[in-house]
Structure 1
Amino acid sequence: MSFTLATWNINSVRLREPLVCQLLEAEGPDVLCLQECKSPVDKIPMERFRELGYQHIVARGQKGYNGVAILSKLPLEDAGDRDFAQLGHARHVAARLENGVTIHNFYVPAGGDKPDREINEKFGQKLDYLTEMRDWFHSERPEKAILVGDLNIAPREDDVWDHKKLLKIVSHTPVEVEHLGEAQEAGAWVDVTRADIPEGNLYSWWSYRSPDWNAADKGRRLDHVWATPDISNAAHGSRILREARGWEKPSDHVPVFATFDL
């Protein structure tokens, strides 16, 4: 069984329904994981997605904020969710394919503007969220699993446009990178994207504040595809659809793809 998976922070699934449909029609991934849907589950435009062949949908939502959804051409079952750091947010959902692979879709908190939990509660929540992810992976030790989503951290020096300038900027601070690394190590997760594309600058997000995002190219790789070691060697074909950042009324994130032969 071969399937292609994509992950995309859509920044409002209802507002950007046409972009989701554009992606589904043009690229046709077998599974699409969305984050920051900003919609209750019953308001997600599922009918249109089903018309395009995505009959299977597992989602968690809330009004106006957060929200995660997994759209699939392939049959899947709801595999639950966890409220990491007890924030009461819709930030995680899991689904299981018929071949036994579990897909975890995450939207890690952004962390606010100041990288100091003493003055910025949101930064503390982000670190706590990552710590609980780490502890869960330690206790559960995932197998035959894929983890995707907007993890809101660019861990490597070549995952940001300027490593030194961003060391004190939320999403690339050493403490965040350390926390993400500990969560990754706890589950022995393999960074599929970087396994496929080991060298060079790689971004999946460009700020709305940049008037010419493409020319300035001040990006960060915040969106990730990981896999457990038992299936990571089956992954290939990783790519980032940079052009989606230039679509009409775009998200500030773009889709990240990987194919698995299992």
Structure 2
Amino acid sequence: MDDLAGFLRLRRSRIDPASVGIPTDRHRRVEGLRREEIAHLSGVSVDYYVRLEQGRATQPSEQVLDALARVLDLDETERDHLCRLAGQRRRTTKAVSGRIRPELLRMLDLVADAAALIMNHRMDVLAGNHLAELLYGRPLQGMNTARHIFLEETDLYAGWEQCTLDVVGHLRLAAGKYPDDPRLASLIGELAMGSERFRRLWARADVRARAHGPKTYQHPLVGLLELHQENFSLPSESGMELLVLSATPGSPSADGLRLLASYTANERFGTEQS
């Protein structure tokens, strides 16, 4: 229950007392809500809540978790994460093998005017189409997008700060779903060792599900690309998602993608043709 205890402490410290009707004054020294305030608002005893934050309580019920999620102002993704940390409705999930069905590979090749790639819960790129390799300017085999964003190619991401928030939130969520994945734990440790921003964001305990939305790139060959990302969960493939990055038809970014697609394999990876 140590992860649950840490999550509760962090989220409690981030609740504005005024937002739940508790008056504050200059003498208040506690950041966020006090333990007894969380307990009263959630309808549980102070002693039980203290034991939850100390990792000494028995498995909390779904009703208690619902009440805590309400008081802590958790969204649906964060509430699911809270339940997993508490051992509620936990599903046994096996790590992704990395093997992609031939049918999925054929589907990637059918996406001609957008970058398309398949990732697992660790954000390893398992496969991608031609335009995805052109977008990232490197072979996709062996690429991890979390490592790429934090440790390798930060200049590519015009919205880098938002990207880092999304990545850390996703990895925090994945760590709750796959607590026994040693490769995921190793990746998180590597990012923490190599990036001060990752360490700061990880300490906030935010959780996020990867979702659709704008993604902006400053590409060295074609300039600014304002794209839209759609995420499609692959339910028969544990932890895998299909990501499609497209541009609005007729926009400068659509022209940029067409220009990018015209580059040869040598040009796309920064080598000269003989």
Query: Of the two, which has the highest radius of gyration?
Result: 2
Higher helix proportion, which one?
A: 2
Superposition TM-score, scaled by structure 1 size: 0.30
Higher strand proportion, which one?
A: 1
Relative contact order, higher structure (CA 8 A, sep 6+): 1
